């Protein structure tokens, strides 16, 4: 039984054009994004470019799911269409905001408002059609919208300024949309340890999320903090399964949870796969030209980890494996 169901509804936008509403139910993580991708691929193949996605019954969204939206939005807009998300919970909206795609994909509370927006947008998109086909020549130099530092921009994507660490989005036309600023790292003390070992299988990610939710509720941790921790752990595990183990299911991942009452939550993940040092170096250094290609499904997870957790430490030990530690402080 699939953990993501998609009900497709076809309706008329006006007398000349159809739209599709995708009613989603379940959760969107590494194990279910192929279902969402297939739905978008089918729409594009059938030249349907006006799409409303209903998140009312979605309980979880990871960066992998976000990557699917980013993957298709360019093609859809180049064909005079758009993707609009509706009925998003506060928990899911926070993930979308952290990833910065609320600046790229619009979110509306109701289906009717989304339809009205598509109708209003149709004439504007017609006027801008030619501009979508005119892209700047990458790489090129661009000024940071925050600190005015000039750096080389390698491609259209979500990028981080190497000087002020602010994040912004560069379009194919070279336009800048400022996004969110990352939090400063803080120190933590580790106590009260819980251990968990899981196979390197994406189908176990949901079980880890359920375990974490139960553990943190038992410790009376707020829902907002719980959601941040759940999201960061899921993103870290997804990257280990994909990049360290190349989706090979016969390996294991060890998780150690530490809780300091009234202070912080610490989790350490250990694996014996390929080194993730290059990826984490990009995250921690914030080098602007180490961006993730806009059509790449994975990769934005480390930006989300950096935003939701207060401290990240990574080590690779020869002949042993990798160790990732993340810290989340509780509000005093």
Q: What is the CATH number of the domain that holds 20?
A: 3.30.750.24
Do the domain assignments include residue 188? no
pLDDT of residue 24: 95
Task: Please give the torsion angle defined by the CA atoms of residues 119, 124, 126 and 128, in that order, rounded to the nearest 10 degrees.
Answer: -150
Q: d(Cα 28, Cα 19) in Å, to the nearest integer?
A: 23
Going by C-beta distance under 8 Å and a sequence separation of 6 or more, which residues neighbour residue 287? 160, 162
Q: Are residues 159 and 227 in the same domain?
A: no
Confidence band for 191, pLDDT divided at 50, 70 and 90: very low
**Is residue 186 domain-resident?**
no
12 and 122 in a single domain? The answer is yes
Q: Looking at residues 5-13, what average pLDDT do you find?
A: 88
Q: Please, which residues have CB within 8 angstroms of residue 98's CB and are 6 or more apart in sequence?
A: 180, 303, 304, 307, 308
Residues 112 and 11 in one domain: yes
- Mean pLDDT to the nearest integer, 186-203: 66
In this model, does residue 78 exceed pLDDT 60?
Answer: yes
Residue 299 included in any domain: yes
Q: Do residues 124 and 148 share a domain?
A: no
Same domain membership, residue 216 and residue 95: no
Give residue-wise pLDDT tens across range 103-127.
778 889 999 998 888 877 765 555 5
- Domain stop point among 116, 132, 148: 132
| 205 inside domain | yes
What is the pLDDT, as a whole number, of residue 126? 54
Q: Looking at the structure, tell me whether residues 59 and 12 fall in a common domain.
A: yes
Half-sphere exposure of residue 55, counting CA atoms within 13 Å on the CB side?
Answer: 25
Please indicate whether residue 1 or residue 210 has the higher confidence score (pLDDT): 210
Q: What is the pLDDT of residue 17?
A: 77
Residue 216 banded pLDDT, cuts 50, 70, 90: confident
SS3 (DSSP) at 297: coil
Domain CATH code at residue 314: 3.30.565.10
Question: Is the pTM of the predicted complex or chain greater than 0.75?
Answer: no
268 lies in some domain: yes
Q: Which residue has the higher pLDDT, 303 or 297?
A: 303
Asked whether residue 256 is assigned to any structural domain, the reply reads yes
- Residue showing tokens 């949309």: 177
Residue 79 lies in a domain: yes
Do 198 and 324 lie in a common domain? yes
* Domains held by the chain: number: 3
Q: Are residues 37 and 160 in the same domain?
A: no
Residues 163 and 92 in one domain: no
Does a structural domain hold residue 115?
yes
pLDDT of 148 strictly over 90: no
Q: Are residues 173 and 231 in the same domain?
A: no
CB 304 within 8 A of CB 98: yes
- In this structure, are 220 and 306 located in the same domain? yes
Domain that holds residue 204: 193-329
Whether residues 299 and 220 share a domain: the answer is yes
Query: What value does the mean pLDDT of the chain take?
Result: 78
């Amino acid at each position: 039984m699939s953990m993501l169901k998609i009900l497709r509804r076809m309706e008329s936008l006006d007398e000349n054009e159809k739209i599709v509403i995708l009613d989603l139910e379940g959760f969107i993580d590494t194990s279910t994004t192929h279902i969402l991708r297939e739905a978008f691929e089918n729409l594009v193949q059938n030249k349907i470019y006006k799409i409303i996605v209903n998140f009312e019954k979605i309980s979880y969204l990871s960066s992998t799911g976000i990557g699917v939206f980013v993957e298709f939005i360019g093609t859809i807009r180049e064909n005079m269409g758009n993707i609009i998300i509706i009925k998003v919970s506060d928990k899911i909206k926070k993930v979308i905001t952290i990833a910065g795609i609320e600046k790229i994909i619009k979110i509306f509370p109701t289906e009717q408002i989304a339809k009205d927006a598509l109708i209003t947008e149709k004439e504007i998109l017609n006027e801008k059609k030619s501009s979508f086909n005119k892209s700047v020549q990458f790489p090129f130099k661009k000024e940071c919208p925050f600190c005015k530092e000039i750096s080389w921009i390698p491609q259209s994507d979500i990028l981080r300024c190497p000087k002020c660490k602010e994040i912004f989005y560069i379009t194919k036309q070279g336009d800048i949309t400022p996004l969110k600023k990352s939090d400063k790292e803080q120190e933590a003390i580790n106590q009260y340890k819980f251990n968990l070992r899981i196979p390197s299988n994406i189908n176990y990610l949901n079980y880890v999320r359920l375990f974490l939710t139960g553990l943190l509720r038992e410790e009376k941790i707020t829902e907002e903090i719980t959601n941040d921790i759940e999201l960061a752990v899921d993103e870290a595990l997804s990257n280990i399964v994909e990049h360290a183990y190349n989706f090979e299911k016969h390996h294991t991942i060890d998780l150690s949870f530490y809780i300091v009452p009234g202070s912080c939550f610490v989790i350490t993940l250990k694996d014996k796969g390929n080194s993730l040092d290059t990826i984490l170096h990009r995250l921690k250094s914030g080098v602007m030209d180490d961006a993730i290609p806009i059509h790449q499904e994975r990769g934005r997870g480390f930006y989300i980890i950096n935003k939701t957790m207060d401290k990240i430490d990574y080590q690779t030990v020869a002949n042993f494996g990798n160790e990732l530690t993340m810290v989340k402080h509780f509000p005093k």
